[in-house]
Structure formats: C-alpha cells, structure tokens
Chains A and B, each alone.
Chain A
Amino acid sequence: MEEQGKPNVTEDATEAFAQELLNEFPSASVEVRENKLGRKRVWIRVDRKEYKALMRHLRALDPEAHYSIGIEQDMGDHLGFTSHLLLTWRGEALSVLVEVRAPKDDPRIDDISEIFPIALQFEREGMEMVGIDFEGAPDKRRLFLPEDFPEGIYPLRLDDKGVSEDMVKNAGHPYYLKGGSKR
C-alpha cells in the first residue's frame, strides 16, 4: 500500500486503477511498480477468500480482459499462484498481476475457470507441478506429466515433495548441483 502517500489526483490511469481497486477491495494489497522502460504494472496480492470476487470484478471492468499466464510456485511455507491479466481500462492497456497464496498444509485455491476459461489449463499445470488444489476445477487430469508419474510428487516443489535425489539419475553430472532441489 505504498501509493497511499501520493496525491489523490493522478493523471495516470494505472495509478487511478490501483486506487479504485483498493477502494473496492480494502483488504488486498495493491502496488504499482514501474520498470526502467517506464512501463507500470499493478501488483495485487489478495487473500484466497476474496480471490474469486476480485477476478470477477476485473472481468467486469473489461469483458475482453486477456488472461496471459498463471504462474504456480513454491514460496517456502506457502504455495503461490500469480495470474497476469491485460486489461483495457479507460483506453489504457494495463498490466495487472494478481497473486494468491495458500498454506502448504491446506493448498486450496478457488478455481476461476468459469471467469477465464483458459485459466483451467494453467490450473491443471499448477495441480501437477506444485500440488495446488484448485477447488471446483472441471478438469483435474494431468496436462504435461505422463499418466504413470508417481502420485504425491510435484516436480517444481522445492521441499521434500519435489523430485528427490534418488529419482535423479545423473547425480555425478557436472551440471547438477547437489542439493539443488532444497534451498
């Protein structure tokens, strides 16, 4: 909530968008960051209870919002799922990132495939790669991994549920850094 110190009247659509979103969802953390090219992005972090409502709100702001990517990741004690959206709002193409987290012992996140149908495929990837459980996803089959891949192993997990040492064949490989899967 860094932008609270800034003046309320802004010309910039990104700032205005962040401000309006914050009014709508006061519990979310909304942050505008600018990179060296001058491109601003809105980074939103939202509680998983409000996640679906927020996505629905964003979809209502721009019915043709473009869902670019869903990033599943292991964040230590949490599992995160970040979505990038491209919203056209007041004639500006806004780059919006929505992050939601779930604790590892209860990795449930709401499914948003009824709002953004393509998100389902990223959720399928998230389910198999880090083991997030997307509640209510209509298709829970594996997407990339083969059918005979062992249950309960999530290749991109950084803890002991990841690919373990004995599954890796080339332990003496110069490229392979020992203990790389545990950080």
Chain B
Amino acid sequence: MTEKVEYWVKIPFGPIHPGLEEPEKFILTLDGERIINVDVKLGYNLRGIQWIGLRRNYVQIMYLAERMCGICSFSHNHTYTRAVEEAAGIEVPERAEYIRVIVGELERIHSHLLNLGVLAHDIGYDTVLHLTWLAREKVMDTLEAVSGNRVNYSMVTIGGVRRDIDEKRKRIILDAMKYYREVLPQMEDFFLQDPTIEARFRDVAVISRRVAVEQGAVGPTGRGSGLKDDARWSERLGVYPDLGIKPVMPQDVTGERPHGDVFDRAAVRIGEIKQSIELIEHALDQMPDGKIKVFAKDNILVAKLRNLVDGEGIGRYEAPRGELVHYVRGKKGSDKPLRWKPREPTFPNLFAVAKGVIGDQLADFVVAVASIDPCLSCTDRVAVMEDRGRKRVLTERDLIKASIKKTREINPDIRGDPTPVGLGCSR
C-alpha cells in the first residue's frame, strides 16, 4: 500500500540572485536539497548585438565585439579580427602576433584570478576571495599601463595591433610576472591543499567525459573532464606553436586522473595561470622588431576591407573560458558584413553544467555555475524590448535619453545632451 510520493519543488534560480554575477535564469526542480532537473532560460541580457552588427562596418564591429563582455573583451575583439582577416586574406606582422599573445595571456591571468575568487566567495570563503582579487589588481594595473585601459583594452585592430610594447612597458610586464611567480604558490596552497576547498569542490558537479563531448564543453570545463583540446593548440594559432603551447590538463596540476569536478576546473585554471606567465616571458623574449599593423589608419582599413572581404571567415581562439568562435561573411563592395556571429564558450558549458549538477545538492549549484566561469552577457546577444504593447529595438540613445529623463526628474538642474560628442565617423 505504500505509494511513493515525491515532494518535488520547482524554484527559480535567478534572473537576479546573489550567487549569480549576471542575470540568467535556471529553473531547478528540487527534491529536498537534491537537484532533480535544471532548465536553462537565456535571454535576460539581450542587447541586439548581432542585429546591430548587420548595420555597422567592419571597424565599428570591433568596438561592438569588445563591449560584449567586460572580462574577455580582448578575446572577442581578437577572434573577430581573426575572422575578418581570414575572410579578407590579410597577413598580420609577426611583432603584432607576439603582442596579441602577451595581451591575451595577461587577460587570461586576470580572468582566471577573478573566477577563482568568485568560486571561493560562493562557498563563503571570503578571505580567499579578497586575497585573489588583491593579486588580480597587479595584472589590471599592468594592462592599464600597456593599453591605457583596465578593461576594454582596444589593443587589436584588423591587420595588427594598435599599440606597441616598448622597453618601459616590457619592464612593467616583467615586474608583474615576477610578482605572480611569488604569489602563485600561495594560490596553489589555497586551491589545491585547503581542506574546506577540497570538501566543497571535490566530486561536485561532475561533468563526465561523455556529457562533455555531447554538450561540446570547452576550455577549462572540457579539459577538467579530460577532453584534450585547446583552441590555441589545435588551431596552431599565430605564434603560439613557436611558444610551445599545449593544453593544461588536470593531471598536470593535481597529479590525479581527471574527475571532471569543480576542483579539476579550478586546478586547470591554476595551471593555466602558470602557463600564461611562461608564455608571456617567452613572448617578450622572442618578440622581433618590425611593423605592428598592416594599415596605418582606420579610414584606409575601412576602404580596403570593402574590396578585400569576399566570402566567409572563421576565427577560433581560446578565450579564458574556452574556445571562442566568430564567423564573418561579407561580400565585395559592401563595408558591412552580411552575417557576423560570435559563439561564446559559456554557451555550451552552461548546458554541460546543467547536466552535470543533476543529483547534487542545492548548495553545490552556485559553485557549479561559477566553476564554468559563466559570461552570460556574452551569451545573450539580441534584444528586442516591449514598450507599451509595441515591440521595439532599443539602442544606446534611447537608454541615454531614458537615463537623462530620470535624472532630470530627480534633479531638474542637471544638464545632459544625448547627442554623441564630436563629429563622428561615417555612421
């Protein structure tokens, strides 16, 4: 007579939740504390970037791509640039390739440190969060010294890089690397030896190798599950083969076979920080002299690309979160692409981790989501918003207008002009 009754509860996790850094919704089916099912709902951060991209020229899209995400801004810009270079058949000077490597690896260090801190914060271990983020400040300062910005570096342009790394900047980078060589053993201590971290990360949110293959997991998520892939390595990208790139697997760091859990993903990140330091030092050492870009000015670039781009191009790069792909298709005579599509590493990883957490506890969910280092603002790209019954695409100026309107309601004395400053380019 005993009939099994299942007390399943569906709770929404997000779009706004203190454990998620960006708006995203998961609908969790729970049996007590155990997760039965996860449904992912995307689209809370849609901004219409692909739609806007159809109405911009190739150079303007570079800025757009850079602003898709604050953390991997270099990666997006870089990958988009690779796609256009492939479609247009542009060869990049070797010095520019080295500078791309240096900035890309600096970005990787900063992104991984950020994620490790977030992981610690999500298990309530705030001391590690503060110490990791303190270490992260150094690389942010270095990036500011190299590129002029802490976040959107704008280092890459189609056919090269915008800024050179001179002797002074080289010294700043080398100083930062020396600092990280001192700090990194501490990080290893935190993340590989600490009993709390081990208790919370080991065998949590296990993404098996099979699920990782099926869901196309990339980056530290895929490598943590034992998939030996790194886009820089498998693509033989630029000068990376000369620098001796190889995928960092969890067994290189922990010495155990890959479990596919949160711990392995964190371990891969630690290993990659180490690898990045080595890559930067080698790149600074081997960097040849020469030109840093093919086209001297952006207006020449726009005019040339109108004729050069004919056909399709794919850019693949290993962003800090995993393989990033940009696709560009253009036709001769137009300075706008016919299609531009980015695919962010979070997209497949999110579905992989949604499969991975089934059977775990609710307490592990935040850590599991954080362990793929989700970049949800990258993943959502298109926005059409509803305004009083009519569907509209809102763009920047509307938002500025709305913002100014709101400010004026609060304080009518504040002045602001929504028109863009300066003469502007050919928009």
Interface residues of A (CB under 8 A from B): 35-39, 41, 43, 63-64, 66-69, 71-75, 82, 84, 86, 93, 95, 97, 116-118, 121, 129, 142-146, 148-150, 153, 155-156, 158, 163, 166-170, 173-177, 180-181, 183
Q: Is the CB of A39 within 8 A of B92?
A: no
17 A-B pairs with CB atoms under 8 Å apart are A37-B237, A66-B213, A74-B339, A82-B327, A93-B234, A95-B235, A146-B43, A146-B384, A149-B384, A153-B391, A156-B50, A156-B54, A167-B391, A174-B424, A175-B52, A176-B55, A181-B55
Further contacts, 12 of them, CB under 8 A, given A167-B384, A174-B424: A74-B339, A84-B325, A95-B316, A97-B312, A118-B351, A129-B50, A145-B384, A163-B51, A167-B392, A168-B393, A174-B419, A180-B55
Contact partner, B235, options A39, A118, A169, A175, Cβ 8 Å: A39
A150 to B43, CA, bound (A): 16
Interface residues of B in 206-240 (CB under 8 A from A): 213-216, 218, 227, 229, 234-238
Cβ of B52 to closest chain A Cβ, rounded Å: 8
Q: Is the CB of B341 within 8 A of A117?
A: no
A6 to B86, CA, bound (A): 23
Does B380 have its Cβ within 8 Å of any Cβ on chain A?
Answer: yes
Interface residues of B in 372-394 (CB under 8 A from A): 380-382, 384, 386-387, 390-394
A168 neighbours in B (Cβ, 8 Å): 392-393
A181 neighbours in B (Cβ, 8 Å): 54-55
Q: Is the CB of B216 within 8 A of A116?
A: yes
A146 neighbours in B (Cβ, 8 Å): 43, 384, 386
* Prevailing SS type, chain A contact patch: loop
Does B303 have its Cβ within 8 Å of any Cβ on chain A?
Answer: no
Interface residues of B (CB under 8 A from A): 42-43, 46, 48, 50-52, 54-55, 85-86, 89-92, 213-216, 218, 227, 229, 234-238, 312-314, 316, 323, 325, 327, 329, 334, 338-339, 341, 343, 347-348, 351, 380-382, 384, 386-387, 390-398, 419-420, 424, 427
Q: Given contacts A149-B384, A155-B384, are A66 and B90 in contact (CB under 8 A)?
A: no
B424 neighbours in A (Cβ, 8 Å): 174
> Quick one: closest B residue to A115, CB to CB?
B214
A146 to B41, CA, bound (A): 10
Q: Is the CB of B237 within 8 A of A71?
A: no
Q: Is the CB of A144 within 8 A of B381?
A: yes
Q: Is the CB of B393 within 8 A of A163?
A: yes
Q: Is the CB of A144 within 8 A of B42?
A: yes
Cβ of A180 to closest chain B Cβ, rounded Å: 4
Cβ of A153 to closest chain B Cβ, rounded Å: 8
B329 neighbours in A (Cβ, 8 Å): 73
Question: Ordered nearest first, which 10 A-B pairs have the shortest CB separation?
Answer: A93-B234, A169-B392, A118-B216, A69-B343, A180-B55, A144-B43, A36-B91, A35-B86, A73-B339, A117-B214
> Quick one: closest B residue to A92, CB to CB?
B234
Q: Is the CB of B227 within 8 A of A64?
A: yes
Q: Is the CB of A121 within 8 A of B347?
A: yes
Q: Is the CB of A86 within 8 A of B343?
A: no
Contact partner, A66, options B216, B236, B338, B381, Cβ 8 Å: B216
